[in-house]
């Protein structure tokens, strides 16, 4: 069975690219499949070395093409089944024209603006035999009234961290991610400043970097916040250790997050989470999370205070429940193997 996994890319190795490569790597171990990957580079952006390096590790042909290139049509024509990422019309309509089996993973929530582009995306979504939305929040923006046959929620996760730290040895609140607007960094710093906790047991660890850094550093200085650690970007192994050694992961976004990977990563190593009621974050946080309204500094302050005052027994129970329920929330890679076969069987029947 000839499988083409095709995805847009902005040229760097991000979450979408990691997911595509993870599925492709898994499919290479399934002897009934022949696999090719195609990254469609958008906006004439340049390829970064991190994506090139990751692509070399897959073991199957990986193509980088520009939007509208004839090679896209040749690859679709070659395939028996096309697994597209999001709802690009230049993938969906050729796949249907060539009578190929088509499945979609839809990563982003739908903006309800009136445009030809948006209408084509909506039509294209309905043409797939399977639609896998990476959160129920995203699903509801695409199918708000009636769920279509063949649609379901399948969170997109590639590789989860592997690390462990005893709960008794964990310290502080950890933020992980790009320092950009609407990620809730300002609210987190402000909430932490109101508490001014013991900086040894309860440091505020702001992992990552980004264009908001000067503003955050100025805020820390103006509020005279003590106990803030700034490790920057870390390699995967170090990042996993820092995550596992945190007492709580905090994801305070107010940007309608499609899913929220960091709470899932935290739960995978047994660290409980504090999240905002924003997009897919409550799903990613699970039923053991502490949940606050986005942008509400006082609620976030109260949640940090609750976390600090929590008994060891309740803390461990939340940590274990978050980790245990994550197994039911995520799907193994075998899900795609079985789904591809089912779609192809349905076509031939």
Q: Which domains does the chain have, with CATH numbers?
A: 2-157+331-348 (3.40.50.2000), 167-329 (3.40.50.2000)
Looking at 37-41, 158-162, 305-309, which range is the least confident one? 158-162
Largest CA distance in the chain: 68
Closest CA to 304 of 207, 198, 163: 198
- Mean pLDDT, rounded, for 64-74: 92
- Residue 25 binned pLDDT confidence (cut-offs 50, 70, 90): very high
- Entry pTM: 0.94
**pLDDT tens digits for range 119-174:** 899 999 999 999 999 999 999 999 999 999 999 999 998 889 999 999 999 999 99
d(CA 51, CA 319): 34
Please check whether residue 292 is in contact with residue 268, taking contact to mean a CB–CB distance below 8 angstroms: no
- Residue 349 binned pLDDT confidence (cut-offs 50, 70, 90): very low
d(CA 347, CA 341): 10
Interhelix angle 49-56/15-27, rounded to 10 degrees, is: 10
Kindly tell me if the per-residue pLDDT of 117 is higher than 60: yes
- Mean pLDDT, rounded, for 308-327: 97
Look at residue 348 in the predicted model and tell me its pLDDT.
Answer: 53
> String of b and e for 220-236 (b: at least 16 CB within 10 Å)?
beeeebebbeeeeeeee
80: phi then psi, degrees, rounded to nearest 5:
-90, -35
Q: Are strands 290-292 and 228-232 parallel, antiparallel or unpaired?
A: unpaired
- Mean pLDDT, rounded, for 268-278: 98
Please check whether residue 41 is in contact with residue 11, taking contact to mean a CB–CB distance below 8 angstroms: yes
Kindly tell me if the per-residue pLDDT of 305 is higher than 80: yes
d(CA 246, CA 267): 12
Reported as type and span, the H/E element at residue 63 is: strand 62-66
More confident residue, 302 or 346: 302
Reported as type and span, the H/E element at residue 7 is: strand 2-9
User: CA 72 from chain center: how many Å?
Assistant: 26
């Amino acid at each position: 069975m000839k499988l083409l996994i095709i995805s847009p890319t902005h040229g760097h190795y991000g979450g979408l690219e990691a997911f595509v490569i993870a599925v492709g790597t898994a499919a290479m171990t399934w002897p009934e499949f022949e696999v090719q990957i195609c990254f469609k580079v958008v906006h004439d952006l340049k390829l970064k070395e991190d994506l090139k390096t990751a692509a070399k590790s897959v073991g199957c042909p990986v193509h980088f093409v520009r939007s509208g290139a004839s090679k896209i049509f040749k690859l679709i024509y070659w395939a028996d089944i096309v697994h597209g990422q999001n709802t690009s019309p230049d993938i969906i309509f050729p796949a249907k024209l060539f009578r190929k089996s088509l499945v979609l993973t839809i990563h982003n929530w739908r903006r309800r603006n009136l445009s030809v582009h948006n209408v084509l995306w909506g039509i294209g979504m309905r043409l797939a035999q399977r639609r896998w939305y990476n959160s129920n929040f995203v699903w509801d923006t695409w199918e708000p009234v009636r769920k279509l046959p063949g649609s379901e929620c399948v969170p997109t996760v590639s590789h989860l961290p592997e690390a462990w730290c005893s709960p008794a040895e964990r310290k502080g609140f950890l933020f992980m991610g790009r320092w950009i607007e609407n990620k809730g960094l300002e609210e987190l710093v402000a909430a932490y400043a109101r508490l001014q906790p013991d900086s040894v047991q309860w440091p505020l660890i702001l992992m990552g970097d980004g264009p908001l850094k000067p503003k955050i550093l100025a805020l820390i200085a103006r509020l005279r916040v003590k106990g803030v650690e700034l490790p920057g970007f870390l390699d995967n192994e170090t990042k996993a250790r820092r995550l596992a050694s945190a007492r709580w992961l905090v994801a305070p976004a107010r940007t309608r997050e499609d899913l929220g990977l960091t709470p899932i990563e935290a739960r995978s190593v047994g660290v409980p989470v504090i999240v905002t009621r924003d997009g897919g974050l409550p799903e990613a946080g699970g039923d053991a999370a502490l949940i606050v309204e986005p942008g509400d500094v006082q609620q976030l302050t109260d949640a940090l205070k609750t976390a600090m005052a929590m008994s060891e027994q309740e803390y461990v129970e939340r940590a274990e429940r978050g980790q245990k329920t994550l197994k039911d929330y995520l799907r193994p890679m075998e899900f795609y193997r079985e789904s591809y076969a089912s779609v192809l069987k349905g076509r031939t029947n």
